[in-house]
Amino acid sequence: MPVQQLKDFLDREGVRYVSIKHSQAFTAQEIAASAHIKGKELAKTVIVRIDGKYCMAVLPASYHIHMGHLQDALKATSVALATEEEFADMFADCELGAMPPFGNLYDMDVYVAQELTEDEVIAFNAGSHTELFRLTYKDFEKLVQPTVIQLT
């Protein structure tokens, strides 16, 4: 979803957010540094395959996903990271790797790391490598209705 479509969605839902432009950055840590945001408050979106179904795992940028925790929490048979080639077409309206954590807009389940729920405010890619959106975790939770589990 291009940045404008995401803005329109948030506006339509009456959610207050801040748009943060930053120099082009690709890794979560580079983005956090470029935008002067704590790595724990920057939510990164990781696409995973859970029993053959693509889902979003959302966790603080400074953390790493633990596939065993995800598999155990969901009682899944198989859990694996999806490759960019596998999911590129699913997010044709976003720059590769800059998809926002709104799986509900892409008909995908969303799993959020418990640690992210501890932040009052989170920031995330807005579909590009040069812009973030920042909003309250409570608003994100209300819009996306993710499943909170131990991911890290």
Q: What is the mean pLDDT of residues 51-76?
A: 94
pTM: 0.92
d(Cα 130, Cα 124) in Å, to the nearest integer?
11
d(Cα 135, Cα 13) in Å, to the nearest integer?
13
pLDDT score of 107: 94
pLDDT digits (tens, 9 = 90+) for 93-142: 898 889 999 999 899 999 999 999 999 999 999 998 899 999 999 999 99
Is the Cα torsion angle 95, 43, 122, 104 positive or negative in sign? Answer: positive
d(Cα 108, Cα 49) in Å, to the nearest integer?
11
Task: Please state whether 21 falls in left (phi above 0), alpha (psi between -120 and 50) or beta.
Answer: beta
Domain residue ranges in the chain: 3-149
Place domain 3-149 in its CATH homologous superfamily: YbaK/aminoacyl-tRNA synthetase-associated domain (3.90.960.10)
